[in-house]
Homo-oligomer: A and B are copies of this chain.
Amino acid sequence: MELWFTEKQTESYGITAKVKETYVREQTDFQDLAMIETLEWGTMLTLDDMVMTTVKDEFVYHEMVAHPALFTHPNPRHVLVVGGGDGGVIREVMKHPKVEKAVLVDIDGKVIEYSKKYLPTIAGELDNPRVEVIVGDGYMHIHEHKNAYDVIMVDSTEPVGPAVELFSKGFYQGIYDALKEDGIFVAQTDNPWFKADLIETVNRDVKEIFPIVRVYCANIPTYPSGLWTFTMGSKKYDPLQVDATAIPELDTKYYSPRLHHAAFVLPKFVENLVK
């Protein structure tokens, strides 16, 4: 018998992947979690039937959440990751020696637990002594910490289920307040083919709060449309003003100093969404 996992990315379109084995299928307190072994993408974590990460293509998302902001801020000592319980963003953050402490707040401890067990190449750095892992509500954490972080990264699920609040204007205001006076935040903001409205709304909201707002893209094959956007809000530093020749060459597979500026040059139809 052939088993295939199909994610309906819209009502009438999806991706489908052949499955060798199901390691975990569990309704947690927050979402439907599955850890499956696919032939094409290796081990895959899904939440509410949406692909969160796979061993084969995870590097794109995790690198592109972490590095553009960390190479824009000149001294990112304190970093917060909201969501991201699989640990992939933390792994990339740990590549920056300037980071003294990174706090990860994920609402679902099961994501952390199963990622450590089944996704060791992704979650390995969650045990780094520079990392503090908190199982808790990122929205609350943001509102309880003022002037605390240099960089905040929002590695949320899509705006359904537990992550709805993480796309609200109140959340972005909370992030602004939780950042230091020269802080930067970045959030994954879905894809422009099926979620153009979301990108427009987030962009408008963030622009009302942050003086510098930039959007960049990356190709993530297992995410809807393969084209993902990230929205950066900054109080002081502009990623487009960074001297890319001064960025060191990290051990990465997608991000590079050369890509730092190019990633912000958007296809025209995306550019038009965030004008």
How does the 8 Å CB contact mask read for A190-228 relative to B, with 1 for contact and 0 for none?
000100000000000000000000000111110001110
Nearest CB in chain B to that of A269: its residue: B253
Interface residues of A (CB under 8 A from B): 6, 10-18, 38-41, 57, 60, 193, 217-221, 225-227, 252-256, 258-259, 261-262, 265-269, 271
In angstroms, how far is the closest chain B Cβ from the Cβ of A93? 18
Point out the residue from B41, B57, B225, B265 that lies within 8 Å of A258, measured CB to CB: B265
Point out the residue from B14, B256, B259, B269 that lies within 8 Å of A15, measured CB to CB: B14
A269 to B219, CA, bound (A): 12
A39 to B13, CA, bound (A): 8
State the oligomeric state as a number of copies: 2
**Pairwise interchain contact B6-A16, C-beta atoms closer than 8 A:** yes
* Shortest beta-carbon contacts, A-B, top 5: A226-B226, A262-B265, A12-B39, A12-B18, A13-B40
**Pairwise interchain contact B254-A259, C-beta atoms closer than 8 A:** no
Point out the residue from B14, B226, B267 that lies within 8 Å of A254, measured CB to CB: B267
**Pairwise interchain contact A57-B268, C-beta atoms closer than 8 A:** no
In angstroms, how far is the closest chain B Cβ from the Cβ of A227? 4
In angstroms, how far is the closest chain B Cβ from the Cβ of A229? 11
Point out the residue from B16, B220, B227, B252 that lies within 8 Å of A13, measured CB to CB: B16
Given A57-B193, A225-B226, residue A267 in contact with residue B219 (CB < 8 A): yes
A254 to B225, CA, bound (A): 15
Given A253-B269, A262-B262, A268-B256, residue A13 in contact with residue B15 (CB < 8 A): yes
Point out the residue from B10, B217, B221 that lies within 8 Å of A193, measured CB to CB: B221
**Pairwise interchain contact B221-A226, C-beta atoms closer than 8 A:** yes
Contacts of A226 in B (CB 8 A): 219-221, 225-227
A18 to B38, CA, bound (A): 23
Q: List 15 A-B contacts (CB under 8 A).
A: A12-B17, A13-B17, A13-B40, A14-B15, A14-B17, A217-B219, A219-B219, A221-B225, A225-B226, A253-B267, A253-B269, A256-B271, A258-B271, A259-B265, A259-B268
Contacts of A271 in B (CB 8 A): 256, 258
Contacts of A252 in B (CB 8 A): 268
Nearest CB in chain B to that of A260: its residue: B265
Nearest CB in chain B to that of A218: its residue: B267
